[in-house]
C-alpha cells in the first residue's frame, strides 16, 4: 500500500463524517416589526379555522414535499393583493422553519409572509406572526400607514453600545443592546422609523400620525 494512502483514507473519512451530521435547526435573525412588515408581500389579521397536511410537489429526489395548509378567515389586509387570503402554507415542523397556528377560529393573528397568488400565502418561523392581543396600540396603528412610510429606511440592529449610524437614512435599533438581547423592547413596541422630507430617517413614537414639523425637520 502506498505510504500516502492511509492519510488519504483518513481525510476522506473525516470529510464524509462531516457531511453526515444532522440538518441544522431553523434559526432566524432578529428584525424590527417594521422590517418584517416591509419585507413581506402580504400582511393580514386573520384566524386559522383548520389545518391539514398536503403534498406540494416533489424534491429533486422525487420524494413528496409535505406542507401544512391552514384555511384562514381574513379579518383585515394591511398589505397585499386585492383578493382575500384563504390559505396559508408552511413547513410541517419548526425544525424546518414551519410556523404553527392554533386552529378553531378563536385566536386572532397578525401574519406577514410571502404571496403565492390566488388567495394563498406562505409563512416561515422567521416571518412576523403574533397574536393580535399581544400587539401594542402603537404597533396596531403603525400597520395602517406608518410602517409603510419608512420602508425606504434602513433599520440597523445595535449589538453593543456604543454604535453609530452610517448614513442619514438609517435608524439604530438599540433594544438588543439596551435591554439584554430583547427583540421585543421599547423601540419594537412603540417606535417606527419614518422617512422625512429631506430624505433622512428618524424614529417616531406615538399613535398619532407624524406632524408636518417632524417630517420637515432637517438634521444639523
Instruction: Please enumerate, by residue number, every residue annotated as part of a binding site.
Output: 26
CA distance 105 to 142: 25
Task: Note the maximum CA span of the chain.
Answer: 83
Binding-site positions for Zn(2+) read: 26
Amino acid at each position: 500500500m502506498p505510504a500516502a494512502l492511509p492519510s488519504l483514507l483518513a481525510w476522506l473519512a473525516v470529510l464524509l463524517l462531516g457531511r453526515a451530521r444532522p440538518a441544522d435547526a431553523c434559526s432566524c435573525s432578529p428584525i424590527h416589526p417594521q422590517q418584517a412588515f416591509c419585507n413581506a408581500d402580504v400582511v393580514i389579521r386573520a384566524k386559522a379555522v383548520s389545518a391539514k397536511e398536503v403534498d406540494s410537489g416533489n424534491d429533486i429526489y422525487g420524494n413528496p414535499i409535505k406542507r401544512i395548509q391552514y384555511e384562514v378567515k381574513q379579518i383585515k389586509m394591511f398589505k397585499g393583493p386585492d383578493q382575500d387570503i384563504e390559505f396559508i402554507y408552511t413547513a410541517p415542523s419548526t425544525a424546518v422553519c414551519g410556523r404553527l397556528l392554533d386552529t378553531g377560529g378563536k385566536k386572532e393573528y397578525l401574519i406577514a409572509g410571502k404571496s403565492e397568488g390566488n388567495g394563498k400565502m406562505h409563512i416561515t418561523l422567521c416571518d412576523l406572526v403574533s397574536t393580535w392581543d399581544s400587539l401594542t396600540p402603537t404597533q396596531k396603528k403603525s400597520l395602517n400607514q406608518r410602517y409603510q412610510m419608512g420602508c425606504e429606511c434602513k433599520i440597523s440592529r445595535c449589538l453593543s453600545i456604543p454604535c453609530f449610524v452610517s448614513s442619514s437614512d438609517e435608524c439604530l435599533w438599540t433594544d438588543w443592546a439596551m435591554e439584554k438581547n430583547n427583540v421585543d423592547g421599547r423601540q419594537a413596541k412603540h417606535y417606527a422609523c419614518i422617512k422625512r422630507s429631506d430624505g433622512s430617517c428618524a424614529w417616531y413614537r406615538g399613535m398619532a400620525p407624524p406632524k408636518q414639523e417632524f417630517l420637515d425637520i432637517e438634521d444639523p
